[in-house]
Amino acid sequence: MERPQQAITVQVQFPAIWLDEGDEFRRLAGYDVCLRAFRCHNFSSISPDHANAQGNRCSTIGTDWDEGCPHCSFWADNFNGIGVHLNHRDVTFVAISRAELSKIESFKKRMGWSFKWVSSFQSDFNFDYQASFTPEEARSGVAFYNYTRMDPYDTDREGISVFYKDEGGAVFHSYSCYARGIDMMNGTYHYLDLVPKVRDEEGLDGPQDLVRYHDRYEE
């Protein structure tokens, strides 16, 4: 039986934009990880700040949170183990959040994750790639997100950005996607889309109301 995708992803292609590596990445806590990433020619960065389709706000680990949100953690559960495969295709994966590095490392340990995760605390990185917004933008309901002017619902949203280093060492921003476009990073969704009940979200107030931290399910 042919099954249509529940979320339609529009891939926006644009010319690769040259970046100053020092200005853009040296401000990240865990910068040494990003330096190692740029030894490869392809660098995939996910800013896993997430608000669900119903507008319930949350972020992976906000600047004043002690733990990440369960919805973003649902995505992060799919990141473990992929690094070595990507590395052998000349790609490095790094997650970036605005929380302080100490909070990230504590939550990462609790969840048993091993993927590379750095902090953009007190830097503009997430803002530069339209995954974070000022309080004024959040209050006004107007910000540039997902390639349009829209209500971001909060100061943090989800996004994926890709960077490329050429043979001469120049770094370029080559791709970004947001909102339901990041569903492609969630392997659990792909499996659910194959079964008869698919994601089984009918009757829920929000499409992820049943999602919990993987160590907080009752069964």
* Domain interval for residue 69: 17-192
- The mean pLDDT of the chain is 78
Q: What is the pLDDT of residues 12-60, one digit of tens each?
A: 555 667 666 545 666 666 555 554 544 445 555 555 443 322 233 334 5
Checking DSSP bridges between strand 91-97 and strand 117-119, what pairing results, if any? parallel
Does residue 52 belong to any structural domain of this protein? yes
pLDDT of residue 12: 52
d(CA 110, CA 157) in angstroms, rounded, equals: 23
Among 7-11, 144-148, 179-183, whose mean pLDDT is lowest? Answer: 7-11
pLDDT of residue 109: 95
Q: Residue 165 belongs to a domain with what CATH number? A: 3.40.30.10
Does residue 198 belong to any structural domain of this protein? no
Task: Count how many domains the chain has.
Answer: 1
